[in-house]
């Protein structure tokens, strides 16, 4: 507490809060297990204080103080992470970036935007939209996630086929290393001046540095999208169809393939009967009739009959509803009752391994989850794709649900590795997957990550236990 | 020499050479200043030995030995680097990857190729071509550069508009850290499991690790290209036209704009008179007539009259001739005589700064170079582009040429920074630009690079003095 007084002295008035409500609301992110624990009355780790920086220098002062006093700091964007990456740490402080949310510059000529890290997706996209621009980065969490969070968690949006993931938009940034040192990387389209330090911060989950500002590449807003929807004979046939679309370089903006279970949940409202569904969107002004015709022909040749354009439009119109639903599931209303937990797992592999990855992870999850494990492919590349599983665990009570949940994750992570998949495509590692990281990446890669951590954060104050397990 | 005996013991027979011819031929890469120094009779730093690994474990044994004996190791691909990055170090060994040149696997389904780092561009592309595939990575040095060199130097090829640069093709790799520890990063289309370690090795210039194998994403070989060529009223008008092409997402594969001097050198053979030239290529099967028509219309609206398709085809057919020419310039034949040195400088900036960057660097170079400073834009992005300057210095003798050369670089680097450009787009830093790095990136970023270096190569044996200047 003496320590906290010395932090208060270094920062502007009102930057440090110890209000109990603030401490509680920053004790966790949207990790389902933490929600379950909270609902059942467990005490989650409450921080000593919440720090609200308004400028990069406030962040630097906080990290200098934390390094001196060996206080753990948990950087926090908007708290929508689903792996516990922003869960508070006992006797640590939470560094909440939400008051650093200004747009600093939009450059119409270079098509770039520079903004503070705490800005959320919706206001950022709205401001760009007024200039006829878009970031093209549309994670489902858009309304409840922040620019800094996207970088820290290596976010990918629903239009990644067209616009890439967050690292593909990132041109420059300002970050404060654990030591308090400020690193400024000016915007450059590309550079060959040593390893790209921008990339060191993407996916670092608050363990190396706190990103305070970023410059991103934006695009002209497409006037409209043209949708295709088809009914492939199987999920595997649907993935093969998407592979062909991508490898032919037809430049879709959005591509998704749903297995039967997931298709039922997603397209029930448009009257979908049974079987998998594949949808794709193209920029109307770019695809041309010949390109669309080629995509349609490919689908027919693959035995995938046409579905109405309403499938794509329905999905686009409702694509973020799940976020609202999700909050309700685990929140106050507790839709599904005690002993129930819902989560998602997103993995990726090169095409050759995708069918095996689908089978292996699904089977592992079904050992503990209800029959309703659904999956969709949502981020395709020329070389492979991600698979996104949704699963629901139902047990006698919350304690049993927790045990089943952790065991389901353990088995699914092992199954993923066995099928040569990568442990996460875009949700990150956090607390949830940290125990699986050595198995997933191998000891040499994890040891290299630990070296990076030691280099950027010598006192080890930044987000301890996240991404990398705390060493014994 | 005792030390060397213990290295020989650890490696297969014939892996270590102390043959004088080998030592001499590995004393430098294609850095023009080193060539000038050699021609005028300076003794370049000769290595103690050249090591020819045949497997990753040979590299690991060599680096373990070097760490134990504190011997400098200079990794070498094919030696085509132009910044001195592979120049030998006194009393060090050169680790020549040329005998690790096998293609290990081509996966037609995932469209990936896995190969050893020493393979050169031409055989790699030939093998892919036989399967109807292409890497899409066509640096001018194609025939005389290697996969490992591309990764180490952050290479970008002539079709980067269509296929991205080397990091955009890189899915996985095996690297040996300075400590001798082997890191294997399996191929993944994307991953959110911590900072992307693949990217730590791109542009590391042999200072952190030696890449021994890589898996790359390849593409189906386009059947043909459709070329456009136009005559913009000025270089700046040409760059604005390219910006529009890119920002409209017309998906060109190749885009180049030449200023008047460079256009004269490049398109003289097709009868080009005066003025700048812009050329672009599109995949015939992807662009569609409407897209080509749109590009043509944009050019006309920008006041750029049409030129014949032979401009593009001529360039494509002769695009790598300069490599042959270049070797002649500085090699045995010494085309231009004593006191002459020719070099290139490639920088990049976001669009807003491109015109100022062009003026500033050109002006700085012209203070020391002959009037014939030519420039072209060759790697466009939605957010900006690179500029590639060719310059020739002519002085009384080779000593005066060296002084003028170093001063020209010093001034051009400062001009680049002043115009908010990045110091290198794809040639890297090496020995040549290491003195400018702190000024270019700032002390905090360079200090972070030094931390990475200390983490990956604690004994500091890997390529000392390259990229990062040796600390006093």
Label residue A286 by pLDDT band (50, 70, 90): confident
Residues of A in contact with B382 (CB under 8 A): 111, 217, 219
Torsion angle of the four alpha carbons A293, A298, A301, A305, in this order, in degrees rounded to the nearest 10: -70
Q: Over the stretch B21-57, which tens digit does the pLDDT of each residue have?
A: 999 999 999 999 999 999 889 999 999 999 999 999 9
A142 DSSP assignment: G
Q: How many CB atoms lie within 10 A of CB B269?
A: 12
Return the biggest CA–CA distance within chain A: 72
Confidence (pLDDT) at B472: 65
Contacts of A84 (CB under 8 A, 6+ apart): A28, A29, A31, A33, A34, A430, A431, A432, A466
Confidence (pLDDT) at B288: 74
Run of H or E including B191:
none
B348/A191 CB distance under 8 A? yes
A349/B189 CB distance under 8 A? yes
More confidently predicted of A334 and B268:
B268
| Facing B384 at nearest CB: one of A110, A220, A428 | A110
Find where tokens 């005490």 sit. Answer: A43
A195/B165 CB distance under 8 A? no
Calculate how close chain A gets to B208, using CA atoms only, in Å: 10
3-state class (DSSP) for residue A90: coil
DSSP-assigned letters across all residues of B68-134: HHT--EEEESSS--SSSTT---TT-EEEEGGG---EEEEETTTTEEEEETT-BHHHHHHHHHHTTEE
Where on the phi/psi map is residue A84: left (φ > 0), alpha (ψ -120 to 50), or beta? left
Confidence (pLDDT) at B396: 94
Q: Over the stretch A220-255, which tens digit does the pLDDT of each residue have?
A: 999 899 999 999 999 999 999 999 999 999 999 999
- Identify each DSSP E strand in B337-456 by its residue range: 340-350, 374-380, 384-394
Confidence (pLDDT) at A326: 61
Confidence (pLDDT) at B333: 58
Torsion angle of the four alpha carbons B22, B23, B28, B33, in this order, in degrees rounded to the nearest 10: -110
**pLDDT exceeds cutoff 60 at A85:** yes
Q: How many CB atoms lie within 10 A of CB A397?
A: 10
Where on the phi/psi map is residue B442: left (φ > 0), alpha (ψ -120 to 50), or beta? left
Confidence (pLDDT) at B290: 82
Sheet of B340-350, strand order: B305-307, B225-231, B277-283, B254-258, B374-380, B384-394, B340-350
Confidence (pLDDT) at B240: 97
| Facing A350 at nearest CB: one of B110, B425, B445 | B110
| Facing B424 at nearest CB: one of A191, A352, A382 | A191
pTM for this entry: 0.96
Q: Over the stretch A326-352, which tens digit does the pLDDT of each residue have?
A: 665 555 556 667 899 999 999 999 999
Confidence (pLDDT) at B79: 95
- Cβ contacts below 8 Å, chain A against chain B, sum to 282
Confidence (pLDDT) at A338: 85
Q: Over the stretch B127-153, which tens digit does the pLDDT of each residue have?
A: 999 999 999 999 999 999 999 999 999
Calculate how close chain B gets to A152, using CA atoms only, in Å: 9
CA nearest to B253, candidates B140, B170, B163, B132? B163
| Cβ pair B404, B394 in contact under 8 A | no
Joined together, the tokens standing for residue B60 give 């690991």
| Cβ pair A298, A245 in contact under 8 A | yes
Residue B356, burial from CB neighbour count under 10 angstroms (0-12, 13-18, 19+): middle
Q: Over the stretch B98-135, which tens digit does the pLDDT of each residue have?
A: 999 999 999 999 999 999 999 999 999 999 999 999 99
| Facing A288 at nearest CB: one of B205, B290, B467 | B290
Run of H or E including A48:
none
**pLDDT exceeds cutoff 80 at B335:** no
Q: Are strands B103-107 and B112-116 parallel, antiparallel or unpaired?
A: antiparallel
Q: Over the stretch B393-415, which tens digit does the pLDDT of each residue have?
A: 999 999 999 999 999 999 999 99
The mean per-residue pLDDT over the stretch A383-405 comes to 96
Joined together, the tokens standing for residue A379 give 């981020």
Q: How far is CA A172 from CA A196, A465, B74, B444, in A?
A: 10, 28, 31, 15
What does the mean pLDDT of chain B come to?
94
Query: For B238-252, B307-321, B349-363, which range has the lowest pLDDT when averaged over its residues?
Result: B307-321
CA nearest to B452, candidates B430, B440, B442, B467? B467
Contacts of A39 (CB under 8 A, 6+ apart): A330, A334, A398
B456/A448 CB distance under 8 A? yes
Confidence (pLDDT) at B329: 55
The mean per-residue pLDDT over the stretch A315-326 comes to 79
Helix orientation angle between A354-366 and A398-418, rounded to the nearest 10 degrees: 160
Query: For A366-375, A406-415, B145-154, B444-453, which range has the lowest pLDDT when averaged over its residues?
Result: A366-375
Positive or negative CA dihedral for A47, A53, A58, A63?
positive
Confidence (pLDDT) at B2: 74
Return the biggest CA–CA distance within chain B: 72
**pLDDT exceeds cutoff 90 at A39:** no
Strand partners, B228: B280
Q: Over the stretch B177-226, which tens digit does the pLDDT of each residue have?
A: 999 999 999 999 999 999 999 999 999 999 999 999 999 999 999 989 99
Label residue A288 by pLDDT band (50, 70, 90): confident
The mean per-residue pLDDT over the stretch B170-179 comes to 97
Confidence (pLDDT) at A287: 76
The mean per-residue pLDDT over the stretch B372-380 comes to 94
Residue B248, burial from CB neighbour count under 10 angstroms (0-12, 13-18, 19+): middle
Q: Are strands B93-96 and B73-76 parallel, antiparallel or unpaired?
A: parallel
Label residue B286 by pLDDT band (50, 70, 90): confident
Strand partners, A254: A281
Confidence (pLDDT) at A337: 75
CA nearest to A156, candidates B23, B227, B190, B157? B190
More confidently predicted of B326 and B255:
B255
Angle (CA) B279-B283-B288 rounded to 5° is 100
Positive or negative CA dihedral for B124, B129, B134, B136?
positive
Rg (CA), chain B: 22
Confidence (pLDDT) at A1: 61
Label residue A125 by pLDDT band (50, 70, 90): very high
What does the mean pLDDT of chain A come to?
94
Q: Over the stretch B271-281, which tens digit does the pLDDT of each residue have?
A: 999 999 999 99
Residues of A in contact with B107 (CB under 8 A): 350, 352
CA distance linking residue B199 with residue B208, whole number of Å: 12
| Cβ pair A277, A257 in contact under 8 A | yes
Q: Over the stretch B57-80, which tens digit does the pLDDT of each residue have?
A: 999 999 999 999 999 999 999 999
The mean per-residue pLDDT over the stretch A76-83 comes to 96
Calculate how close chain A gets to B88, using CA atoms only, in Å: 19
Confidence (pLDDT) at A92: 97
Q: Are strands A170-177 and A182-185 parallel, antiparallel or unpaired?
A: antiparallel
**pLDDT exceeds cutoff 90 at A9:** yes
Angle (CA) B33-B35-B41 rounded to 5° is 105
ipTM summary value: 0.96
Q: How many CB atoms lie within 10 A of CB A288?
A: 18
Confidence (pLDDT) at A331: 56
| Cβ pair A246, A382 in contact under 8 A | yes
A441/B379 CB distance under 8 A? no
Joined together, the tokens standing for residue B12 give 């297969």
**pLDDT exceeds cutoff 60 at B380:** yes
Calculate how close chain A gets to B388, using CA atoms only, in Å: 13
| Cβ pair B95, B59 in contact under 8 A | yes
Residues of B in contact with A197 (CB under 8 A): 445, 448-449
B381/A196 CB distance under 8 A? no
Confidence (pLDDT) at B287: 76
Strand partners, A223: none
Calculate how close chain A gets to B9, using CA atoms only, in Å: 26
């Amino acid at each position: 507490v003496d320590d906290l007084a010395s932090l208060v002295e270094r920062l502007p008035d009102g930057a440090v809060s110890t209000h109990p409500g603030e401490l509680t609301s920053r004790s966790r992110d949207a990790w389902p297990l933490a929600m379950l624990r909270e609902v059942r009355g467990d005490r989650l780790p409450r921080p000593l204080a919440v720090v609200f920086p308004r400028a990069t220098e406030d962040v630097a002062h906080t990290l200098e103080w934390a390094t001196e006093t060996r206080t753990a700091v948990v950087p926090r964007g908007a708290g929508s992470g689903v792996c516990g990456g922003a869960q508070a740490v006992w006797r640590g402080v939470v560094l909440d970036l939400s008051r650093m949310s200004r747009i600093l510059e939009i450059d119409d000529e270079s098509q770039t935007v520079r903004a503070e890290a705490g800005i959320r997706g919706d206001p950022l996209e709205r401001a760009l939209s007024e200039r006829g621009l878009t970031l093209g980065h549309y994670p489902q969490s858009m309304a409840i996630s922040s620019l800094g969070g996207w970088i820290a968690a290596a976010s990918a949006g629903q239009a990644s086929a067209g616009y890439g993931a967050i690292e593909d938009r990132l041109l420059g940034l300002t970050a404060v290393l654990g030591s308090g040192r400020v690193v400024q990387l000016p915007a450059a389209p590309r550079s060959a001046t040593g390893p790209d330090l921008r990339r060191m911060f993407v996916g670092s989950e608050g363990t190396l540095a706190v990103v305070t500002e970023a410059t991103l590449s934006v695009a002209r807003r497409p006037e409209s999208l043209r949708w295709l929807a088809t009914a492939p004979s199987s999920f595997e046939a649907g993935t093969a169809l998407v592979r062909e679309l991508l490898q032919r370089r037809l430049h879709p903006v959005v591509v998704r393939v749903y297995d039967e279970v997931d298709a039922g949940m997603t397209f029930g409202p448009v009257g979908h009967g049974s079987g998998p569904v594949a949808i794709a969107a193209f920029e109307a002004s770019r695809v041309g009739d010949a390109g669309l015709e080629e995509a349609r022909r490919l689908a027919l040749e693959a035995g995938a009959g046409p579905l109405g354009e309403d499938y794509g439009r329905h999905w686009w119109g409702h694509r973020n509803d799940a976020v609202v639903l999700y909050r309700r599931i685990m929140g106050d209303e507790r839709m599904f009752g005690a002993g129930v937990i819902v989560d998602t797992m997103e993995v990726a592999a090169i095409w050759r391994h995708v069918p095996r990855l689908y089978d292996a992870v699904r089977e592992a999850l079904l050992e503990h989850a209800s029959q309703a494990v659904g999956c969709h492919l949502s981020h395709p590349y020329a070389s492979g794709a991600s698979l996104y599983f949704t699963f629901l665990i139902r047990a006698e009570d919350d304690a049993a649900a927790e045990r089943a949940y952790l065991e389901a994750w353990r088995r699914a992570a092992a199954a993923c590795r066995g099928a040569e998949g990568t442990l996460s495509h875009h949700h990150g590692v956090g607390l949830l997957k940290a125990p699986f990281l050595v198995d997933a990446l191998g000891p040499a890669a994890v040891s290299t990550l630990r070296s990076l951590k030691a280099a950027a954060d010598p006192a080890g104050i930044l987000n301890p236990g996240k991404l990398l397990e705390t060493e014994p």
